[in-house]
Amino acid sequence: MSTLPSQPTIPSNEPGGFITNPTTPFSPPPSSVASSFANTTLPHPRAHPLRLGSSKESGFINYVDKGILNVNRRYTKKFSEEGGETGSADGGVDGGKGGGTSKETKGYESFREVGRDLESLVDVVWVSGTPSLQIPYLLSLALLTTSYLPAFPPAPRTMFRLLRKVDFAFASLLQGRDIDTGDSLSGFEGGSARVSTTEKVRIKGLVERTRVSVVEVMRNGEIEEEEEEDGTAAETGGEETEDMDLDEGFEALGADRWEMEIARVYDRTLVELGETMGGEAVGGGGGGGGGL
């Protein structure tokens, strides 16, 4: 019987309303996602933060909470399926409210599936343009990413694309500006929002843990083959091209390419943390080094 790994701690759910059509209000349009080999571009965020206590804020909270719950359910179901369990563990996964459907929840079979669900939630969180929601939710999603990585064979294309997005988001929030364009982020105009010292400490610890985890996963795991699905390019607005470029880079440069990608995990966030917390920009060698 498979042993179910401990679940990462997720912030408690906040009250939220119901979304009549959850794919409409917050899902970023495909055309807003650009393809770039150096950095995977996040959708363009709202011009103004969601108003506190508004129906849109409640709908956003409800949507993301249900998405996180679904990711947890599918991850948990993976182990109940491997252990042949159909009793309480199965019922615990599929029962209850929030994100559930009439169909039986299917467990994840690869990190590619995990990464796809987490990446869509990262996009939605970024689109909200609301720092008070972006920071805690990005911390939760980044924690899920790090916690679930060791449970699957490494899927480097999915993993590095997801981590690049979260890296960009954290680094930009720490600076209060889009780190590529220099434009002020929604909610940071006039210094109205700041990442707290406590949040910076949490981000730093998570970044260091993730860098260590990526090294271990890439060193010990048999790399998963990531085949393209029909319609991928249309759904992601061109990310298929980036994925192909990434794969070709791996094949052309071999182990050197892996080392380069591993070294770049959360590198932009580490630079911003070093500048805002008075530490070394490289994170003091927080576990990102080490060969495969």
Interval 30-58: pLDDT, tens: 333 333 334 468 999 999 999 999 999 99
DSSP per residue over the chain, as a string?
-PPPPPPPP-PPPPP----SSTTSSSSPPGGG----SSSPPPPPPPSSPPPTT-HHHHHHHHHHHHHHHHHHHHHHHHHHHHTT--SHHHHHHH-SSSS--SSPPPPP-SHHHHHHHHHHHHHHHHHT--HHHHHHHHHHHHHHHHHHGGGS---HHHHHHHHHHHHHHHHHHHHTB-TTT-PBPTT-GGG-----HHHHHHHHHHHHHHHHHHHHHHHHSPPPP-PPPTTHHHHHTSHHHHHHHHHHHHHHHTHHHHHHHHHTTTHHHHHHHHHHHSS-TTTTS-S-----
CA 98 – CA 121 distance, rounded (Å): 15
Task: Judge whether 207 and 270 are in contact, CB under 8 Å.
Answer: yes
What pLDDT score does 194 carry?
A: 84
Read off the pLDDT of each residue in 222-226 and give the average, rounded to a whole number.
70
Interval 170-223: pLDDT, tens: 999 999 999 999 999 999 887 667 899 999 999 999 999 999 999 999 987 677
| Percentage of the chain exceeding pLDDT 70 | 60
What pLDDT score does 254 carry?
A: 52
Interval 66-119: pLDDT, tens: 999 999 999 999 888 666 654 433 333 333 344 444 357 789 999 999 999 999
What pLDDT score does 277 carry?
A: 73
Res. 224 pLDDT band, cuts 50 70 90: confident
Res. 133 pLDDT band, cuts 50 70 90: very high
Looking at mean pLDDT, say which of 8-12, 147-151, 185-189 comes out highest.
Answer: 147-151
Read off the pLDDT of each residue in 252-274 and give the average, rounded to a whole number.
82
Res. 279 pLDDT band, cuts 50 70 90: low
| Percentage of the chain exceeding pLDDT 90 | 52
177 beta partners: 184
